[in-house]
Chains A and B, each alone.
Chain A
Amino acid sequence: MQTKNWTRRAFGTFAVLAALAACASPPMVQTVQALTLSGAGATFPQPLYEKWFYEYNKKFPDIKINYQGIGSGGGINQITKKTVDFGASDAAMNDEQLNAVGGTSKILMLPMTAGAVAITYNIPGVKSGVKITALTLTKIYLGEITKWNDKAITSVNRGVTLPDLAIAVVRRSDSSGTSFIFTNHLAAIKSSNWKEKVGAGASVSWPTGIGAKGNQGVSAQVQQTPGAIGYVEYAYAAENNLPVAAIENREGKFVLPSVASVVAALDGTKYPDNFRVFIEDPDGKESYPIIGLTWLLVYRDNADDKKGAEIGKFVKWALTEGQQYVAPLKYTPLPDPLAKRVLKAAEAIK
């Protein structure tokens, strides 16, 4: 009998709960007729996108945007198969990928923001701001320069005592937009043979070093290893106060990563109509050299007109009102002329 009593009580509780749930849910559905947009892709801009979607939802409670940071490649795949409403990628689609969706007359690639890749290091007794030339950086990652007191490094760092310490190279093991931007820059250094030896991409065959997972893995590895050098997203380096190197740009100046120096690099770039440009080694004296844009991938004609209109509205909001959230997260707002052109292009979204 005891069992039966217990069962009955449990049933009773269930029934009450079910009734409560039944009462509670219909009004909620009625008050908020939420439209959900789904997107997937790059992890590099994910913190900014999530901030944007959150603020946008606060302002327009009837629009909810879900974003999955599954990687740029995944973003391109999913938008091609139309399993998401928009994709996001750190690498603009190549011709082959564009053909698969019917070319730029069908799909728009909208740059939303830019970010920099910072070079961080751990040299005991040496503060942030060590200068590294473009060629030296490639040689360190090729395993050709192996000591911090190598002439190539000491000759541009007068006044800094660099120890006789082995350089421990650290790199990303997971394929990522950060690696893509970094290797693209190394491949663009004309005096180096990086392009022939390694090439550029989200995952490459690294000649040397230890692979660590994610920005966090790289920075942990660098902090623990005296003599280590690694590359991380600038936003991550700034948030965690990591020491960063000043990198020689195309004009021979050493520039630290900052929002201002990335803006300078963006200003010095010419953008084609489809916005597909990889800023491998930007012009300009003030430009930080290792930067990249990140794109939203959106169909011009969406099957669901309502969704299309909402995506257009969001892009407009992000590039105007949403800009206030960009710099605090250490991403770079697009320069005005570029933002205006992107806004114009976004009007085509239906």
Chain B
Amino acid sequence: MTASSKPQIENLTTGSGKLQADTIARWLFQGAAFLVLAVLVWMTVVMAISAMPAISKFGFNFLIDKTWDPIQEQYGGLTFVFGTIASSFIAMLIAVPVGLGIAIFLTEDFLPENVLTPIAFMVELLAAIPSVVYGLWGIFVMAPFIRAFETWMNTNLGFIKIGDKSIFGTPYGPGLFSAGVLLSIMILPTIASISRDVLKAIPKSLRNASLALGATRWETIFRVMLPAASSGIIGACVLGLGRAIGETMAVTMVIGNTPQIDTSLFAPAYTISALLANEFAEANEPLHIGALFYAGLLLFAVTLIVNVFAEIFVRRVSSGRQ
């Protein structure tokens, strides 16, 4: 076996074989990279073409219009963009601190390794649950708890208002808040497990140096470990956010699917991906289909903008440290 494979290896490293293998490999990898780009462009073009009836009729008005009425053929995407961003924002608000907490806990020696490993494993297992299962769990198990919580908030904190409408309005159960909470559970494993890996990768010497200088454990965590891991942790958050924005099935089942922008955190809302999942199957009229594709393009744009901002943020943070 070794005898037969050795000449090949030599061919790769010396003589004319090197150039050839190099070139082939280069072309292969280049091809793979450009293929991704090509698919992306192709998708955008196809979506833009299908969205044309709606783009030419509504133009940029689509971005600020709040109506969505398939009967009157009047379409606007603002409420869906709002729902998408707001639900993801709530999810991040919950998942980032909790996920970071899990990551810190799992990398410190609070508990012996043979206890921590199963916990880490179970957190990662959360990511393996299909989203439709999350959705079913959301409407049957989580929603009643959420409604009880919302009712409590409404009676005790209902006086907090924007204008004349309460932030903690009528408790429905399904709605923006439920969707945010469910999403936070779904993106938790992404944030927790990547942050944990990043924290684990920090050289031991750094921590030891900090402790040796007389810093306490918490000072070490907050002043040394987290800053050192910050770009990786932000990367984890961006990945989590990406999943939250694009998540469809589970959100559709708990968000209440009402195209509106309400001041109440508990009011039903609607996301772009939920809209597509709900209406695509029965859409017949070219304008309706076009409007759905237009909404799809918006989702594309929202994701892109969020990612660009996150990228800029990561660069700022990492260059600020150096």
Contacts and interface: CB of A to CB of B under 8 A. Distances in A.
Given A73-B283, A204-B69, A213-B257, A173 B252 contact: yes
Contacts of B277: 174
A48 B36 CA distance: 43
A203 interface: yes
Interface string B92-135: 00000000000000000000000000000000000000000001
A1 B1 contact: yes
B169 interface: no
B271 to A, nearest CB: 11
Given A173-B257, A200-B71, A224-B143, A210 B268 contact: yes
Contact of B71 (A71, A205, A225): A205
B256 interface: yes
A221 B257 contact: no
A175 interface: yes
Contact of A217 (B1, B68, B144, B253): B253
Interface residues of A, number: 35
B258 to A, nearest CB: 6
B42 to A, nearest CB: 22
Nearest to B132: A213
Contact of B268 (A70, A71, A74, A211): A211
Nearest to A2: B1
A212 B69 contact: no
Contacts of B69: 204-205
A173 B70 CA distance: 13
B139 A198 contact: no
B58 interface: no
Contacts of B135: 213
Chain B interface mostly helix, strand, loop or mixed? loop
A201 interface: yes
Nearest to A210: B256
Interface in B43-80: 67-72
Contact of B253 (A168, A200, A205, A213): A213
A3 interface: yes
A268 interface: no
B89 interface: no
A212 B281 CA distance: 16
A209 B256 CA distance: 8
A175 B278 contact: yes
B147 interface: yes
A210 B139 contact: no
Contacts of B164: none
B174 interface: yes
Interface in A199-258: 199-206, 209-213, 217, 220-221, 224-225
A4 interface: yes
A206 B259 CA distance: 9
Contacts of B274: 173
Nearest to B277: A174
Q: Which of A1, A77, A224 has the most CB of B within 10 A?
A: A224
Chain A interface mostly helix, strand, loop or mixed? loop
B282 A210 contact: no
B22 interface: no
Contacts of A167: none
Contacts of B72: 199, 205
A287 interface: no
B289 to A, nearest CB: 9
B172 interface: yes
A220 B254 CA distance: 11
Interface in A135-170: 168
Interface string A58-81: 000000000000111110110000
B284 interface: yes
B177 to A, nearest CB: 13
Contacts of A210: 172, 174-175, 256-258, 268
A97 B286 CA distance: 12
Q: Which of B147, B257, B282 has the most CB of A within 10 A?
A: B282
A212 B282 contact: no
A176 B282 CA distance: 7
Contact of B282 (A97, A203, A211): A203
B284 A76 contact: yes
Interface in A81-101: 97
Nearest to B140: A220
Contacts of A202: 282
Nearest to B172: A210
B256 to A, nearest CB: 4
Nearest to B174: A210
A202 B285 CA distance: 12
Contact of A205 (B1, B67, B144, B252): B67
A254 B258 CA distance: 31
B279 A175 contact: yes
B258 A224 contact: no
A348 to B, nearest CB: 26
B282 A72 contact: yes
B173 interface: yes
Contacts of A225: 147, 172-173
25 contacts: A1-B1, A4-B1, A73-B282, A73-B283, A74-B282, A168-B172, A173-B252, A173-B257, A174-B277, A174-B281, A174-B282, A201-B71, A203-B70, A203-B279, A203-B282, A204-B69, A210-B175, A211-B257, A211-B258, A211-B270, A211-B278, A213-B278, A220-B140, A224-B143, A225-B173
Given A205-B69, A210-B258, 4 more contacts: A173-B257, A174-B277, A205-B67, A211-B256
